[in-house]
Structure 1
């Protein structure tokens, strides 16, 4: 399994089973439009998955909320058309998630849909749209913030100065900056 050696560390023990579940789900079920992408691969999604689950665990999220983060992570970059900004890939991933749920008789979750839909948008727009949705819980904004932080923490793959920590939304994400660098380095070494 990808990141096996990282999963053995004490910090990852509480989320190891959840990570393994969602990683396996992604490997077996999720089709990526850019499988040969340089930046938006399944390995990127796997790191975002791990980081989202770590932040969620540190925040004391419920198992149901952790599953929403896991599902968001495995779908979020699956419908990219290119490695640039590609505004709209979040909406395409959200629709892919919705279609997947319908086609596989899988329970649909509106929060997961909205996290995917707005993850490539400016925070103010995402917060506004999620907040005014009546069919999701008030905690959806927190899950959106956690997810956006997890995705941002993997920006080191784009270069050593690609992450501006001033834009991180949660205290827990600030505490994982060095871990995110270590995680990237470790995953690069395991793929070389």
Structure 2
């Protein structure tokens, strides 16, 4: 299992089972348009998944809310055309998520859709669109912020200065910066 040494750490025990469930789901079911990507791989999505679940647990989210984060993590970079900014890959991934749910009889979650859709956009747009939606509760804003932080925490894969900690939205994410660096290092060792 990917990241099994990290998952054995006490901090990960509360989210180990949901992580393993979502990781297995991604490996078996989610098709990536850019499978040979240098930066936006299933390994990246797995790290974002772990970080999102950790922050979600620390925030005391419900299992359903953590599942929304898990689903967003496994789909969020699945429809990239390239490793650049690729504005719009979030909307393509959200459409893929929605279609996947329809085709496979899975329950569709509007929060997951919006998180995935706007994760590649500026917060002002993402938060504005979430606020406008009658399908979403105020809690969707927190889920969006947690997901954006989890994705940002894996920016160390882009280099030692890949993350500007000043842009993190939650205190829990700020507390996980060193953990995220270690997670990337362990991930690279596993894939080496």
TM-score above 0.5, yes or no: yes
Deviation at 1:79, TM superposition (A): 0.2
Q: CA deviation at 1:48?
A: 0.1
2:2 counterpart SS class: coil
TM-score (normalised: structure 2)? 1.00
1:134 alignment partner in structure 2: 134
For residues 18-57 of structure 1, the aligned pairs below 5 Å read: 18-57=18-57
Query: What is the deviation of 1:129?
Result: 0.3
Q: Give the corresponding residue for 1:151.
A: 151
Residues 94-136 of structure 1, C-alpha deviations (whole Å, 9 max, x = no match): 0000000010011000000000000000001100000110011
Can you give the 5+ residue segments of structure 1 that lack an aligned partner in the other structure? none
Distance 1:109 1:137 in 2: 12
1:96 maps to 2:96: yes
**Structure 1: which 4+ aligned runs deviate by more than 2 Å?**
none
**Is residue 125 of structure 1 aligned with residue 125 of structure 2?**
yes
Any idea what SS the aligned residue of 2:81 has?
coil
Over the aligned positions, Cα root-mean-square deviation in angstroms equals: 0.3
- 1:74 maps to which residue? 74
Q: How far 1:20 moved relative to its partner?
A: 0.3
